[in-house]
Amino acid sequence: MIISRELTAKEKLKPLFDDPLKLPFGKNFTDHMFSMDHCGSGWQNPCIKPYQPLVLQPSANVFHYSQEVFEGQKAYRSPKNEILLFRPRENARRLNRSLQRLCMPEIPEEMFLEAECELLKIEERWVPGQKGASLYIRPTVIGTEAALGIKASSEYLFFIILSPVGPYFKEGFNPVSLWVSATYSRAGSGGTGEAKTGGNYAGSLLATREATQKGYSQVLWLDAGEHRYIEEVGAMNIFFVLGGKLVTPSLGGTILHGITRKSVLELAPELGLPVEERRIAIDEVIEGIHTGKLTEIFGAGTAAVISPVGKIAFQGSDHVINGNQTGPWAQKFFATLTGIQYGEIEDRHGWVFKVK
Ligand SMILES: *Cc1c(COP(=O)(O)O)cnc(C)c1O
């Protein structure tokens, strides 16, 4: 792929931040972005240009019928000053599954990787050197055809923007509190829960607002059918250390195929923790907390990596897990995953991809 370049003059580049560990999530962007478009006959016009507003018609598909999918990844700086990605081919494949579900054109895996690598090489100075900080990558595809008929767009835009970020939770690596929604659900059977598409998040905002108004930080999502089985936590996958095993809901169409989830499931047996993917009812979780069979709960996703859960509000009472303290397994997975991602510990699985 020949990528055209329109780069900002050196003296006009934005200044870097003094303390990347204090950066908020996703509010600052680098100097450049990648973009290419699709008008029915394949992806074209790949270019790297200054980060800038998009010009779209108010009638563009994305504003009305929400053909939109995205990815979330991070670039890390290793102690040897390399720029590393974590399992980026998994993101390329998942993006294509999301695109298929939303009736949008796929992006060849190699093209996706090349676009990311070329942009990252230009924006290298934005990858922070402090552990805990990283450069968040947001590849996005939208339907851009200017037409109000309900059908798949005939035109698309793919862009990648980059945002230097500190650790996801301001509270640090401390347990979060969850609120079980009795009314709302995130995804239904046959719906788009498995796709990383904006509409899923728009639909989850009201429940999240209710949770935060009640003083909890995230929503614990149950299945849409029976409101009984656990699906996800906020925008993360969820894990339970239950009876000495690592238990997580099985993927059944409504749960996002998290790459952190997949990695935790591959690491656990090596660290001596057997895994089980199955349905888990909220009653089993509450009972486990009280009998002591359930010792830890944590969320897993790229942004926070591992997020321990200290408390669950269900049917009017709070249930505290592990004395509201981060447990040893959450700690272990966090240390192992971040160690691999930052190139500090040996990558025995071939998960790390060197950009440069
Ligand atoms: C992105 C996402 C995850 C986590 O996926 P990772 O690949 O681990 O970052 C989990 N659940 C939802 C709903 C998500 O959007």
237 lines ligand 1 (CB under 6 A): yes
Give the pLDDT band of residue 168 (cuts 50, 70, 90): confident
- Cα–Cα distance measured from residue 279 to residue 212, given in angstroms and rounded to the nearest whole number: 27
Q: Indicate the pLDDT class of residue 161, thresholds 50, 70 and 90.
A: very high
Cβ(101)–Cβ(68) below 8 Å: no
Ligand 1 pocket residue status of 299, Cβ below 6 Å: no
- Ordered by start, the domain boundaries in the chain are 4-165, 176-341
* Cβ atoms within 10 Å, residue 307: 26
| CATH level 3 topology of 176-341 | D-amino Acid Aminotransferase; Chain A, domain 2 (3.20.10)
**Is the pTM higher than 0.85?**
yes
How far is 60 from 41, CA to CA, in rounded Å?
19
Letter for the amino acid at 243?
G
Q: Is 304 in the pocket of ligand 1 (CB under 6 A)?
A: no
* 233 CB within 6 A, ligand 1: no
What is the structure's pLDDT at 189? Answer: 95
Q: Ligand 1 centroid to 161 CA: how many Å?
A: 18
30 vs 125: CA distance, rounded Å: 9
* pLDDT at residue 39 tops 90: yes
Identity of the amino acid at 350: G
Indicate the average pLDDT of the chain. Answer: 97
- Of all protein residues, the one whose alpha carbon is nearest to atom 12 of ligand 1 is 235
CB atoms within 10 A of CB 195: 23
Domain 4-165 has CATH 3.30.470.10: yes
Q: Is the pLDDT of residue 181 over 80?
A: yes
Fold match flag (4-165 vs 176-341): no
- Residue 171 confidence (pLDDT) above 70: no
Cα-Cα-Cα-Cα torsion 122, 125, 126, 130, nearest 10 degrees, comes to 140
Give the pLDDT confidence score for residue 323 in this predicted structure.
Answer: 96
| Contact (CB, 8 A) for 66 and 195 | no
State if residue 187 touches ligand 1 by the CB under 6 angstroms criterion: no
Q: For 319-355, give the DSSP string.
A: EESGGGS--HHHHHHHHHHHHHHTT-S--TTS-EEE-
- Per DSSP, 14 falls in state P
pLDDT at 172 over 80: no
The pLDDT of residue 17 is 93
Give the closest residue (by CA) to ligand 1 atom 15: 235
Q: Among candidates 223, 218, 239, which has minimal Cα distance to 285?
A: 239
| pLDDT level of residue 182 (50, 70, 90 thresholds) | confident
With a 6 Å cutoff on the Cβ, whether 302 touches ligand 1 is yes
